[in-house]
Amino acid sequence: MKRLLLIALSAFVALSASAQMKISGTLRDTNGKGIAGVTVSDGFSCVTTDSKGRYKMTTSSDAMHVFYSIPSGYKVSVKDGHPDFYQLLDSKTKRYDFTLAANDKPEKAFRLLMVADPQAQCEFHIKRFERETVPDIRAYVDSQTLPCYGVTLGDVVYTEGPHKCNKYMEPMRRAMGYDNTHLLFFQTIGNHDFNDHPVTLDKGTSTYNLAYQRAFEKVFGPVNYSWNRGDVHIVSMKDYIADDNPKKFRYHKEYGNPCFTDEQLEWLRQDLAAVPKDKMVILCLHIGLYNRMRKNVDAVRQLVAQFKEAHIMIGHTHFMNHSVNKDGVFEHVHAAASGAFWWSCLNGDGAPNGYAIYDIDGAHIKNWWYKSIGYDISYQIRMYRGDAKFGGEFETFQFPYSHDTVLANVFNADPAWEVLLYEDGVLTGKMERIPTTRDSVPEADSSRDWYAVGYHIGVVGRSYGKVDGVSAWKGGGRKGYLTQCNHLYRLKLNNPNAKEIKVVAKDTNGNVYSQTRFTESFDYSECELTNKLLSTPREELNKNY
């Protein structure tokens, strides 16, 4: 069966990716009039349509698709519930035409939903995604008056080692279709979305780096592409390079990750050259750039930083972090829809499974929220006592602070948030954001969310064992459930006997959130849904992995 799948994929590549060739076509509106100034690309180079909507280009011998950067004034074409802006290249076809329908009205304001790491590794994961994430997204979209669009931030599936998950790409694509989510999803490739190995090279695939992305391209379309809404130019790109190894996927041993090929960098230069500098650019990747200096990363940051406003959207880590890089670009790292790999309803940093919502007006993001699955947007804080204990039958963990210290996990916080503590209506003071720590057991000044660690290791039994990593249950090292938390705050009470203790957080955009309920020791009522799911014996659950 595996051999048949490999032969089928090889045949697909041979038919769809061909030698370098000259192609042409026209972009027209529904009245037959050519549309000028639209970028057309094969993922390696870009051209622009002329005054009559015509284009000509010579494709790369490695190109699989020809596509256009959806212009702001036109609707997103839809096929099978997904954006339809590309065509598969065929060596026998030299002409590729596209028809676009004009918007009914301008879309200067819209909402953009960012969904990181659905990471389906089995049918159990897909069912949870369909039962939990999809209905939550649909309900949110249905409640809005503004247009909404979705972007995944990679790791749609979870291919790794012996887990060959290409077969879950199609079911995940169906799950994210418009009929289910009431949203059009644009996809970004992640490091776990690579092709099942081994892979082969042929006349349409000159490197193993490309060979490992072919399965994703077959299901989801181009890997490096862009589209426009209102005054915003949105780009999705792959930001890792696979090593030259046909038998096993590995990151490039010299470049590390994140990184970009020279061809990708040139494509991005050409794509952005057609975008006015007063527009906003949103770059969607999987692995965070931060201030790293790996292959072509600095050049990509600088290209994005040229614009009036720029944001980089990231997944990968299964924790939340918002920061501004050295080029002044806001980089948003998003918690995962799958949380800690679908073993709970929590990410490793304590943020609930969820997704982000960006409220865009013109060339500006005027608001953003983290939307926890099953909760209103107002749920942004979990509050603990400083000595609270969490865990279960396998292991327990205790926050290393005094009982009169209040801890607040403010899920979506960035350094500009103001977090205040009140006792019986009187301001105690500004809470301190605890610098990020990486302790394996609770130590002084710890920033880890031991509530989440206690659940994953102590209750569920993931990677239970000593700090050396010995695990009672199959799959996942201990490190995977000791995720850093960048948004834990603390402050001591003046009066430990105060009747009402309240944490009030004001975000970057002026929104105010509050919490008065302590999550007391061993209180996992928030994980009630997961508890029901895990009523299946853990030995049975492990069979899904």
List pLDDT tens digits, range 379-412.
999 999 999 999 998 889 999 999 999 999 999 9
- Please write the tens of the pLDDT for every residue from 40-57: 999 999 999 999 999 999
Alpha-carbon gap, residue 477 to 468, rounded angstroms: 10
HSE of 431, CA atoms in CB hemisphere, 13 A = 30
| pLDDT recorded at residue 152 | 98
Q: Is the pLDDT of residue 102 over 60?
A: yes
Domains, the chain, in order of start with CATH, read 2-87 (2.60.40), 107-372 (3.60.21.10), 381-542 (no CATH)
Mean pLDDT of 135-163: 96
Phi, psi (deg, nearest 5) at residue 4: -65, -40
Mean pLDDT of 371-384: 96
Mean pLDDT of 478-494: 92
Q: Is the pLDDT of residue 476 over 80?
A: no
Instruction: With cut-offs at 50, 70 and 90, classify the pLDDT of residue 464.
Output: low
Q: Quote the percentage of the chain above a pLDDT of 90.
A: 83
- Here the tokens at position 529 are 């849904």
Q: Is the pLDDT of residue 2 over 80?
A: no
Q: Is the pLDDT of residue 11 over 50?
A: no
Alpha-carbon gap, residue 543 to 129, rounded angstroms: 18
| pLDDT recorded at residue 538 | 61
- Three-class DSSP category at 299: helix
- Please write the tens of the pLDDT for every residue from 223-280: 999 999 999 999 999 999 999 999 999 999 999 899 999 999 999 999 999 999 999 9
Q: Is the pLDDT of residue 12 over 60?
A: no
Q: State pTM to two decimals.
A: 0.93
| pLDDT recorded at residue 16 | 45
- Here the tokens at position 104 are 């009914």
| pLDDT recorded at residue 197 | 87
- Here the tokens at position 378 are 């107002």
Alpha-carbon gap, residue 157 to 126, rounded angstroms: 9
- Three-class DSSP category at 109: strand
With 0-12 / 13-18 / 19 or more C-beta atoms within 10 angstroms meaning exposed / middle / buried, residue 407 is: buried
| pLDDT recorded at residue 84 | 98
| pLDDT recorded at residue 4 | 39
With 0-12 / 13-18 / 19 or more C-beta atoms within 10 angstroms meaning exposed / middle / buried, residue 508 is: middle
Alpha-carbon gap, residue 524 to 49, rounded angstroms: 57
Q: Angle at CA 196, nearest 5°, toward 195 and 200?
A: 75
Mean pLDDT of 157-177: 94
